[in-house]
Amino acid sequence: MKLVVLVCLVFLVSACTGTGHKILNSSEDYTVVEAGSNDTYSSLAQRYLGDARLGSVLARYNPQRELEKGSQVLIPLKNPNPSGVFSNGYQRIPILCYHQFTEHKDKRSSMVVYAGDFDRQMRFLAENGYQVIPLKDVRPFLEGHKPLPDKAVAITIDDGYRSYFEVAYPILKKYGFASTMFIYPDFIGGGVGLSWEQVKILDEDSLVDIQSHSKSHASLSPLPEGEEAKVYTDRLKKEVETTDKILTNKLGRPANHFAYPYGDSSQELVSLLEQNEYEMALTVKKGGNPAFAYPYLLRRTMVYGKGSFKTFQRHLDVFKKTDLK
Amino acid sequence: MITRSPILLTVVMVFYLVGCSSNGDNKLRYLESRKALAAELEKDNRLAEAYVQWSALQDMFPHNSDISDKVDELQQLIDSRRDSILASIDKRKTTAKKHELQRLYLKVLALEPGNREAIGALREYERGVADSAANLKAQNIKRVFVAKKQKSQQEQDKQRFTADAGELLAKSNFSGLLQLVDRFLERYPEHQPALNYRFQALLKMGESELTAGQTEDAVEFFERALKVQSIDHSALAQKTQGIKKRLSDDYFRMGMKSFKNDIDKAVDYLQTSVSYNPDNLKAYQQLIRATRIQQNLRKINGHTGE
């Protein structure tokens, strides 16, 4: 008798009174749930899409802004909008680019960002609904496989200055923000560059991704005084493939993202990166990237140490409004 | 135990059915609210978003023919609008501007966000823009490089010129200096140090002629020196003016001397005197007088000759 009562209670609880959500329908394409008292879009996105940051994506398909117990939520399990284009415009992902950092305000310059300014910028992102995503999430967005959260931003740092480790990294960790550091091996282990030990420590942190910025940081456009095709190709190969060998040796894996030194690219270099199974390559042409951006010539916006806070806000180009009805 | 107690089994079933019917009610509530939402989205021309709502309802109620009909109807509307835009793109492909085509493809995606043709076309467009930017940058780098190289070559030329000119000046080889300067000025006509050297060379050569008593040759050099631009000529102009006045007086005297014996020579001398100093009134009056005599003599000679 006691067992029967217990079974009845379980049914009752599962049907009516749970603090967790109740599934109304479930298929390959969609799940529909009734929210429990503790549910948020983020918790449902974590549960069904494997990424809490995609809460804003769920909100797109549901009329209610805030969930309450009993709110009915449609969860598209496949990306219903592979291009990120909507009737009122299209989504873009800005990729920010930093170089050096300093803890001394008087030492900031165009390429050196003061720690206080950097902290203010990161705080602005955290407090204003921006979602800092790892750069690796951009490729599935470009392929239409995975949506990006609204107001998604990626952070990259070029060259491999030690000041990243000492100044920027602790700030990024404080906010739980992912970043990608593009290093060039010739710079590592000397002067103001990171040591390989520091690179390894960073690489072990899931919030940090170490990627390639060539071997020597030479411009990879054809030499302006002219350069034979074979000589040029060999030069490119050395810059790309040697870096991969070094990274494999030091970190146990090659790179799959590339930042063009000085933003200088060429069709030959793009082909070489494709051959070497790179997934994305980044310029320094400013602006956000739509889902239909070309993956080997992505835009990236430099954040200068002497730029104003308003300029930083303008860089956050997350959505291009335009009437497409 | 359950099978042995029909009452208890009934209780369990009741609980279960309560749970199920509550689920069914919730589904109906979902159906009604989402139908309203989809209709609102459709009315607002947000067809792709309306389609997601209908499609999810069809997923939940696969046997509901009203929903299936609505999904088909919406799909047809989207297809028809998409095809109309794609036809417009085909028609205007060669004449429309790139950004106009880009906008049309975006409209296709607003209707059908996974449309591969539109995504492909827009990606090509993005690639083209990025490639052009990269090429433009490479060209600019090349232009800057060439300009830098030219500047560096010019710097080298100028340094070499300054060294060579200084050496010739130190050796007082003014004709050599003048040749060097003239060659250099053909390539760098505005180069101020070269203009200074030219002035200096002509001045020194004129002074040398003056010292040698070749006053007229000296004047010629001085006058060439006076034509060198961007130089303060005032001292030399004064000096040359003085020399020319003296030359004018000399030629006036020679003209007057020849007046009685050789009127043609007298006219030449007086003309030269006036050319050196157009303000030499005496020379000018005598030149008029001499020219008149010369003409009269020619008339007489011509008459006799007849």
Give pLDDT tens digits for A91-127.
999 999 999 999 999 999 999 999 999 999 999 999 9
Instruction: Give dist(CA A178, CA B275) in Å, integer.
Output: 90
Report the greatest alpha carbon distance in chain B. Answer: 173
H-only helix segments in B95-233: 98-111, 116-170, 174-187, 192-211, 215-226
Split at pLDDT 50, 70, 90, the class of B4 is low
Secondary structure (3-state) at A137: helix
Does the pLDDT of residue B15 top 70, yes or no? no
- Enclosing H/E stretch for A149: none
Query: Average per-residue pLDDT in chain B?
Result: 89
Q: pLDDT value at position B104? A: 97
Task: Output the six-digit token pair for A73.
Answer: 């939520």
The answer to whether the beta carbons of residues A19 and A38 sit under 8 Å apart is: yes
CA–CA separation, B131 vs A295, rounded Å?
A: 12
| Closest-CA distance of chain B to residue A91, Å | 12
Asked whether the whole model's pTM tops 0.90, one would answer: no
Q: What is the DSSP letter of A53?
A: G
Q: pLDDT digits over A25-81, tens only?
A: 999 999 999 999 999 999 999 999 999 999 999 999 998 878 999 999 999 999 999
Residue B304 and residue B306: Cα distance in Å, rounded?
5
Q: For A143-175, how does the pLDDT look when each residue is reduced to its tens digit (9 = 90+)?
A: 999 999 999 999 999 999 999 999 999 999 999
ipTM: 0.90
Whether the CB-CB separation of A196 and A250 falls below 8 Å is answered with yes
In sign, the C-alpha dihedral spanning A189, A297, A128, A40 is: negative
**Dist. CA A103–CA A94, nearest whole Å:** 26
Strands A112-114, A100-102: pairing kind = parallel
Instruction: Using CB atoms, pick whichever of B30, B45, B133 lies closest to residue A325.
Output: B45
Query: In whole angstroms, what is the distance from residue A72 CA to residue A118 CA?
Result: 40
Identify which has the larger pLDDT, A278 or B153. A278
CA distance B302 to A238: 98
Pairwise CA distance, residues B121 & B63, whole Å:
38
Record: contact B141-A4, CB cut-off 8 A: no
Distance of CA B94 to the CA centre of its chain: 30
Tell me if B53 and A61 make a contact (CB, 8 A cut-off): yes
pLDDT for the residue numbered B126: 93
Write out pLDDT tens, residues B287-297: 999 999 999 99
Lowest mean pLDDT, pick from A208-212, B58-62, B65-69, B213-217? B213-217
How does residue B230 score in pLDDT terms, banded at 50, 70 and 90?
confident
Q: What is the pLDDT of residue A271?
A: 96
> Which candidate in A87, A236, A264, A273 is best for mutational testing of the B interface (most B CBs within 10 A)?
A87
B66 burial via Cβ count (<10 Å: 0-12, 13-18, 19+): exposed
pLDDT in tens, A226-274: 889 999 999 999 999 999 999 999 999 999 999 999 999 999 999 999 9
Quick one: average pLDDT of A189-214? 96
Task: Give A85's contacts in chain B (Cβ within 8 Å).
Answer: 106, 109-110, 113
Residue A277 confidence (pLDDT) above 50: yes
Scan residues 218-277 of B and list those with Cβ closer than 8 Å to A: none
pLDDT on residue A17: 42
Chain A: give the shortest CA distance to residue B95, in Å: 21
Classify B116 as helix, strand or coil.
Answer: helix
Across the range B241-255, mean pLDDT stands at 92
Mean pLDDT across B47-63: 96
Counting residues of chain B whose pLDDT is more than 70, the rounded percentage is 92
Confidence of residue B91 (pLDDT cuts 50, 70, 90): very high
| Closest Cα in chain A to B105 | A324
pLDDT for B255-295, tens place per residue? 999 998 999 999 999 999 999 999 999 999 999 999 999 99
| CA–CA distance, A26 with B96 (Å, rounded to integer) | 46
Do the beta carbons of residue B271 and residue B287 sit within 8 Å?
A: yes
Give the Cα separation of B206 and B222 in Å (integer): 6
**Which amino acid makes up residue A307?**
G
